[in-house]
Amino acid sequence: MNIQTALAIVFTVLPIVVLLCYFYTRDVHREPRTALVKTFLLGLLVTIPAIPLTLGLSAVLPLFSPGPLLAALYDAFVVAAIPEELLKLLVVALYCARRVSFDEPMDGIVYGATAALGFAALENVLYVVGGGLTVALVRSVTAVPMHAIMGAVLGHYIGRARFGGGRRIDIWKGWGIAVLMHGLYDFGPMAFSRLAGQETPPAGMGLLLLGFLLLFLAVVITSGVSMGRLIRRLRAEQLVVHPHAREGGSAAAAPLSPQGAAEGSDVPRQVP
């Protein structure tokens, strides 16, 4: 194994591990590790049906012969964003939200990010196998964190639906926001790639590249800053409710009731 291959492996795995640890430790009341491992694996598994689904959607595009920008919009939103975010949503809504340990708003963030990082793990391997170290480096600071953020958005809105009045529309609102973020993130690189691949690229490619790059950076930075603020707010709310809680424990100042002990376990929630 040469040094480039070794580094590619490191930068494929390292961002996944770092982000898993980050979201796990932001929660004052840590989630059961068994539930998180299952969530990660389910996120990884739904990557498998995503592959034929996206290939099938891609095969439809040539039937319409759109221009390069419309084709990039189709690729970004219809081929990538809509099916991928729907599959992540199914993991969080049908598995995570039914755990009794999903019992406060922060949990949506943790489970959503974990499911998305499972999805990103397999996707990352597939991209890096074909692209090598450069792809691993770029994705480690862009695609992988964005997957985690979009998954956290999905989980946050599922949490809002549960703890903020039970409005199911919030779940689809979260999915719509995640799709929008994902589509805008993908659109710039996809549009530039399609324009650059034309036999006669349009004039002003330099300005177009700059515009697409600024859009890409704006989505990544805005998403990261907004998610960081949301996590800090939810964590502060946890500490207000349990002011003696510390990292690594759950509401340490108050003994757990039998019901509270049950909520720490990885068992399904009884849902009507």
59-113 confidence digits (pLDDT tens): 998 888 788 899 999 999 999 999 999 999 999 999 999 999 999 999 999 999 9
Over residues 201-229, mean pLDDT: 90
264 within a domain of the structure (yes/no): no
Kindly report the pTM of this predicted structure.
Answer: 0.86
Q: Write out the residue range of the structural domain in which residue 193 sits.
A: 3-237
Within a 10 A sphere around the Cβ of 181, how many other Cβ atoms? 21
268 — pLDDT class (breaks 50, 70, 90): low
Residue with tokens 């969530």: 39
Give Cβ neighbours of residue 49 (< 8 Å, ≥ 6 apart): 87
Residue with tokens 């580094």: 7
| pLDDT of residue 204 exceeding 80 | no
For the chain, give the mean pLDDT.
87
Structure token pair of residue 244: 């003696």
Amino acid, single-letter form, for residue 45: L
DSSP 28: S
Cβ atoms of 182 and 154 closer than 8 Å: no
266 within a domain of the structure (yes/no): no
Residue with tokens 């903020």: 164
Handedness of CA 202, 204, 206, 212 (dihedral sign): negative
117-130 confidence digits (pLDDT tens): 999 999 999 998 88
254 within a domain of the structure (yes/no): no
149-193 confidence digits (pLDDT tens): 999 999 999 999 988 776 789 999 999 999 999 999 999 999 988
271 within a domain of the structure (yes/no): no
Q: Is 203 exposed, middle or buried (0-12, 13-18, 19+ CB in 10 A)?
A: exposed
Angle at 48 between CA 47 and CA 49, to 5 degrees: 100
pLDDT, position 267: 58
11 within a domain of the structure (yes/no): yes
255 within a domain of the structure (yes/no): no
Taking alpha carbons only, the member of 66, 209, 92, 229 closest to residue 160 is 92
- Specify the number of domains making up the chain: 1
Angle at 152 between CA 81 and CA 83, to 5 degrees: 20
Q: Which residues on adjacent β-strands are paired with residue 99?
A: 268
| pLDDT of residue 21 exceeding 70 | yes
267 within a domain of the structure (yes/no): no
246 within a domain of the structure (yes/no): no
HSE, side-chain direction, 13 A CA sphere, residue 253 = 9
Cβ atoms of 252 and 246 closer than 8 Å: yes
